Amino acid sequence: DVKVTQSSRYLVKRTGEKVFLECVQDMDHENMFWYRQDPGLGLRLIYFSYDVKMKEKGDIPEGYSVSREKKERFSLILESASTNQTSMYLCASSFEYTEAFFGQGTRLTVV
Amino acid sequence: KNEVEQSPQNLTAQEGEFITINCSYSVGISALHWLQQHPGGGIVSLFMLSSGKKKHGRLIATINIQEKHSSLHITASHPRDSAVYICAAAPNYGGATNKLIFGTGTLLAVQP
């Protein structure tokens, strides 16, 4: 079975902290994605990566950055966490033109 | 107007009922995905389809490309089907990166 694993299920961070969310997949997928999910808004794409060291902005990249140094790992970085970044964060991976596999999600609370 | 719209937003059914969730999209697509999200967050892919109909157990997904419409049906619904069901379109301008456009989801509660 494909596994997409996110490093934490729940995180509580303080305003201004630098926050790292890690995602690892074990199926050699080229594409990896970071989404945030908020009530009434659905999933929105923050960043995606289609290869090692390659990244592109999604629909809501402001306040975030990403890193993909190895094919299996895609990290989301909140440079200076703010309360409006409190959300559910979901990582996903896929091959070209195939179904996406999602991690279990990280519920981040910024206080 | 969202590029992917689902209806209804909320649905309550009695165990055993036949359930339909609808999805309309306004973009050209290479595929349409149906996803399931249980409380707690994890999302599971149910179907990916580009034409016709697919069936898996009690779940059936159909798509009409000309009308830009897809439906997810659940036969003989059960309380364990309670979840959020999400429709997502893979636009044909997205290329091989497989970026998806998501609907806002349908919250289904099946009561015993």
The span from the CA of B72 to the CA of A22, in Å, is 33
For B63-109, the pLDDT digits (tens) are 999 999 999 999 999 999 999 999 999 888 756 556 889 999 999 99
B102 contacts chain A (CB < 8 A)? yes
For B20-74, the pLDDT digits (tens) are 999 999 999 989 999 999 987 789 999 999 999 999 999 999 999 999 999 999 9
| Chain A CA closest to residue B84 | A42
A47 contacts chain B (CB < 8 A)? no
Residues 65-94 of A with CB under 8 A from B: 88, 90, 92, 94
Contact status, residue B107 vs residue B45, Cβ threshold 8 Å:
no
Residues in a beta bridge with B37? B43, B84
Judged by phi (left if over 0) then psi (alpha if -120 to 50, else beta), residue B79 lies in alpha
DSSP annotation of B12: E
Residues in a beta bridge with B85? B36, B106
- Say yes or no for a CB contact (<8 Å) between B97 and A50: yes
Q: Which residue intervals of A1-111 are DSSP H helices?
A: none
Q: How far is CA B21 from the centre of its chain?
A: 7
B57 contacts chain A (CB < 8 A)? no
What pLDDT is recorded for position A33?
95
Q: Is A3 exposed, middle or buried (0-12, 13-18, 19+ CB in 10 A)?
A: exposed
- Say yes or no for a CB contact (<8 Å) between A102 and B42: yes
